[in-house]
Amino acid sequence: YKSTNTQRNRDKQRIADLEKNVNEEKQTKQRLESQIKTEKTLTKKLQDDLA
């Protein structure tokens, strides 16, 4: 019985860790998308300046 409880707690911890990773990945994705948007804007501005 004790081992079942231990396993359940381990599984809960694993799920918590995975959810944390997912949230970190989402934040990274948002940060990168924002960076790309900024770079596209800068590129467009440079192209307009050269035109």
The rounded Cα 31 to chain-centroid distance in angstroms is 8
- The length of the chain in residues reads 51
pTM above 0.75, yes or no: no
The amino acid present at 25, given as its one-letter code, is E
Question: Residue 14: what pLDDT?
Answer: 98
- How far is Cα 22 from Cα 16, in angstroms, rounded to an integer? 10
- CA separation (Å) from 18 to 4, 5, 21, 34? 21, 20, 5, 24
DSSP 3-state percent helix, strand, coil across the chain (nearest 5): 95, 0, 5
Q: How confident is the model at residue 2 (pLDDT cuts 50, 70, 90)?
A: confident
- The tens digit of pLDDT for each residue in 14-49 reads 999 999 999 999 999 999 999 999 999 999 999 999
Question: Residue 17: what pLDDT?
Answer: 98
